Amino acid sequence: MTIGTEFIWILIGTALVTLLPRVLPLSILSRVQMPSILLKYLRHIPVAVMAALLAQALLTSEEGFIPIQDNPRLLALLPTLAAALWSRSLLTTVIVGVLSMMLIRQFFG
């Protein structure tokens, strides 16, 4: 149970540079009247961000880009996508996704 001094500085620094991008736009932009072009732009951020996050989670690992042909996550995408479209429920989608991945690893792994 120890806390290093160098660690304290890393903790404070990383926490600050993470906190500021989370807090500043929401707290400052909600005080001002945003130009309508910015509002229109922000309406597309959710889909754009979610799609990019999905691509990152599916296609990359710590070692970088996973070659498409060796990526079992893409196979599991089919039942997961079907579950999401059919159920419109986040919980069902996650459960179907995890079960499909487990089965794919069992049979093709």
Partner 1 sequence: MLAKSLRVFLLEEMKLLLHQSPQPALATGEPLQELSFRRGVIDCIPTLLGYLSIGFACGVVGKTAGLSVIEIALLSLFLYAGSAQFIVAGMIAAGSPAIPIIVTILFVNLRHLLMSAAMVPFFRQYSLWKNVGLGAQLTDETFGVAIGKLQENQKHADRWMLGLNMTAHANWIAANVAGAIMGAWIMDPQAFGLDYALPAMFVGLLVMQVGSRNPLRTDLIVAACSIGVFIGLAHYISGSIAMIVAAVLAAGLGVLIEHDNRD
State yes or no: residue 85 binds partner 1 (CB under 8 A).
Answer: yes
Contacting residue, 34, 70, 107, 108, with partner 1 by CB under 8 A: 34
What is the smallest separation between the CB atom of 69 and partner 1, expressed in angstroms?
A: 14
User: Rounded to 10 degrees, what is the CA torsion of 45, 51, 52, 55?
Assistant: 180
**DSSP E strand boundaries for the chain:** 60-61, 64-65
State yes or no: residue 1 binds partner 1 (CB under 8 A).
Answer: yes
In angstroms, the CA 58 to CA 65 distance is 9
What is the smallest separation between the CB atom of 39 and partner 1, expressed in angstroms?
A: 7
State yes or no: residue 46 binds partner 1 (CB under 8 A).
Answer: yes
